[in-house]
């Protein structure tokens, strides 16, 4: 009998082969010490059914396109595997141990409470990729929860993972979305009204799911042996460019200089990620240290959101409404704070912590220069190279732009997209505002004084374009390459959720198709590139979300 396609995946489980595991194999919530992971199998589900998949990710991991998903038997087996009912040959499932700061407070042990990795494969490209099932059952790190996931949050994770990739933002990927056939009880609003909902499992894919908290947990316990093992594993397997031939071929401990260089690499990747989030108006919503990837990927899609009307103080996370720690305008600062916590965790490995401080001190300048270069690109202005400061005139334009965007409820995505259509020599305030009319939620807010202030900025912007002799056509094309037309607004996800919960998952696939080309004009889907409708302003799931969303 021929092997099923999924049994042909080439597993190479380096994380579990090279790091110490938990000797206790019980999937019982408990404290786990001296281990980087715990062995645990996914929970069986009653009736797995494939709702959606990403063909690009399937091809990336090596699934034969001629066998799947057009072959019914292969598709059924796929659903069994990626719901957690069947382990493919070579898989070695486990849940990772890590800790973290949650909303600024040390939370101790956290870990993969509802995610179980099937293992690590070698893709056809030679890249090592971890396949992880989110919502696949109880682990030692589930605390008081059940380790399961509901359909609504799974749809949001599946779609956003792929949307971010196609926007060009570093991210984990999503292979599949499988309905389990079981009900999961959730209290969506934490208001004492739990109800049963459809259960689902998402298969997430990434080179690694190691996050800042993996290093924080052993450091907090004084387990420097495990901490060093984790650090050296991460460097050797995921940052080999930092090693010369001698270090690659030995099992000796890595010198402090390499550890510091690796930390700086994490600082740089994180700064880049924050700039990219800001470029597209993405707000993560729960930037705890256990939710920041050591590889600089967007990870753990929970109560996220895109800016609709521009508001630096906006957070999509209802749990964060009190302090708004993770609001849009503070994401860069929080990332810096999180990196400092990572540096503190690494400090015991070095006799001199000055190299760590030096690496951390790179962040503010990187974030500032990256933000200025990003805004120059969004405005169609010359983008300075990494070692050249932005022109002072452009810097002033950028500063005034943030203020102008708060004068009235202004859609972040549509404003920049429409700004590309503004000719450098178009005259008259009414004509200028007409180009941007679609970006304003409440035109009545553009009273005489507000309209004049907005127009002042537009005039200054046009004058800058004229001074630089920027060609309108070339500028429009350049701006469209960095300012998306389509983003995964929360209300679009909610529409897909509503339909799927009623038995029609087709909008998931339709949204995925559109989001594959977020920078392109797609006339058949212009309705999905408009402002958030008024009915979605306060409807649950369409603007803000809880951590249970």
Q: Inter-axis angle of helices 490-501 and 151-166, to 10 degrees?
A: 140
Question: How many other β-carbons are positioned within 10 Å of the β-carbon of residue 461?
Answer: 21
The half-sphere exposure of 306 on its side-chain side, counting CA atoms within 13 A, is: 28
- Rounded to whole angstroms, how far apart are CA atoms 354 and 443? 53
What is the dihedral angle through the alpha carbons of 487, 492, 496, 497, rounded to the nearest 10 degrees?
110
- Rounded to whole angstroms, how far apart are CA atoms 280 and 483? 7
Among the options 22, 77, 112, 290, which is catalytic? 290
- Rounded to whole angstroms, how far apart are CA atoms 21 and 39? 7
- Rounded to whole angstroms, how far apart are CA atoms 448 and 292? 45
CA distances from 154 to 133, 179, 199, 345, 494 (A): 11, 9, 9, 32, 12
The answer to whether the beta carbons of residues 174 and 57 sit under 8 Å apart is yes
Q: Among 544, 171, 548, 107, which residue's Cα sits nearest to residue 324?
A: 544
The answer to whether the beta carbons of residues 118 and 131 sit under 8 Å apart is yes
CA distances from 331 to 113, 286, 288, 344, 506 (A): 25, 10, 11, 20, 34
CA distances from 397 to 312, 331, 381, 425 (A): 17, 22, 11, 17
Task: Give the torsion sign (CA, 359, 363, 364, 368).
Answer: positive
Residue 290 among the catalytic residues: yes
CA distances from 237 to 204, 297, 445, 496 (A): 19, 16, 54, 38
The answer to whether the beta carbons of residues 351 and 256 sit under 8 Å apart is yes
The string of DSSP letters for 515-548 reads HTSTTS--GGGGGGGSPPPGGGSSSTTTS-B-TT
The string of DSSP letters for 186-214 reads E-TTSSS--EEEEEEEEEEEES---BHHH
The answer to whether the beta carbons of residues 310 and 532 sit under 8 Å apart is no
Tokens 């005139």 belong to 393
Positions annotated as catalytic residues are 290
């Amino acid at each position: 009998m021929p092997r099923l396609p999924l049994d042909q995946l080439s597993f190479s489980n380096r994380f579990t082969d090279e790091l110490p595991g938990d000797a206790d194999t019980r999937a019982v919530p408990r404290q786990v010490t001296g281990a980087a992971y715990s062995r645990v199998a996914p929970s069986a589900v009653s009736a797995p059914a494939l709702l959606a998949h990403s063909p690009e990710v399937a091809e990336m991991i090596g699934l034969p396109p001629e066998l799947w998903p057009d072959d019914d038997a292969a598709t059924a087996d796929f659903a069994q595997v990626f719901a957690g009912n069947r382990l493919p040959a070579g898989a070695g499932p486990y849940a990772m141990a890590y800790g973290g700061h949650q909303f600024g407070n040390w939370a101790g042990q956290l870990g993969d409470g509802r995610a179980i990795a099937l293992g690590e494969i070698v893709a056809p490209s030679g890249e090592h990729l971890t396949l992880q099932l989110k919502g696949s059952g109880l682990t030692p790190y589930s605390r008081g929860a059940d380790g399961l996931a509901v359909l609504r949050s799974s749809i949001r994770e599946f779609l956003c993972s792929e949307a971010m990739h196609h926007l060009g933002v570093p991210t984990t990927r999503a292979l599949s979305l499988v309905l389990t056939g079981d009900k999961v009880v959730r209290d969506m609003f934490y208001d004492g009204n739990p109800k049963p909902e459809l259960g689902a499992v998402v298969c997430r894919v990434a080179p690694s799911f190691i996050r800042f908290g993996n290093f924080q947990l052993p450091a907090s316990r004084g387990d420097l042996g495990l901490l060093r093992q984790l650090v050296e594993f991460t460097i050797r397997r995921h940052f080999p460019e930092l090693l010369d031939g001698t270090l690659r071929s030995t099992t000796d401990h890595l010198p402090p200089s390499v550890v510091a260089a690796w930390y700086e690499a994490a600082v740089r990747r994180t700064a880049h990620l924050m700039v990219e989030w800001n470029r597209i108006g993405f707000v993560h919503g729960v930037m705890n240290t256990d939710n920041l990837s050591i590889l600089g990927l967007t990870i753990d899609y929970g109560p996220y959101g895109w800016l609709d009307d521009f508001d630096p103080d906006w957070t999509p996370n209802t749990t964060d409404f009190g302090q708004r720690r993770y609001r849009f305008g503070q994401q860069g600062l929080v990332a810096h704070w999180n990196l400092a916590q990572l540096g503190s965790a690494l400090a015991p490995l070095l006799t001199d912590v000055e190299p760590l401080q030096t690496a951390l001190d790179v962040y503010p300048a990187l974030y500032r220069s990256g933000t200025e270069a990003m805004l120059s690109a969004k405005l169609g202005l010359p983008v300075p190279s990494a070692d050249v400061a932005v022109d002072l005139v452009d810097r002033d334009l950028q500063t005034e732009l943030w203020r102008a965007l708060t004068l009235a409820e202004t859609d972040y995505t549509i404003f920049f997209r429409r700004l590309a259509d503004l000719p450098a020599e178009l005259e008259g305030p009414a004509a200028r505002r007409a180009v941007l009319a679609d970006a304003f939620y409440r035109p009545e807010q553009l009273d005489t004084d507000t309209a004049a202030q907005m127009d002042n900025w537009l005039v200054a912007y046009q004058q800058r374009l004229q001074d630089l002799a920027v060609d309108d056509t070339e500028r429009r094309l350049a701006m469209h390459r960095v300012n998306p037309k389509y983003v995964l607004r929360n209300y679009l996800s909610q529409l897909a959720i509503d339909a799927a919960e009623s038995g029609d998952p087709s909008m998931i696939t339709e949204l995925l198709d559109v989001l594959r080309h977020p920078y392109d004009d797609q006339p058949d889907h212009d309705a999905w590139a408009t402002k958030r409708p008024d009915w979605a302003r306060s409807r649950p799931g369409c603007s803000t979300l809880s951590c249970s969303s």
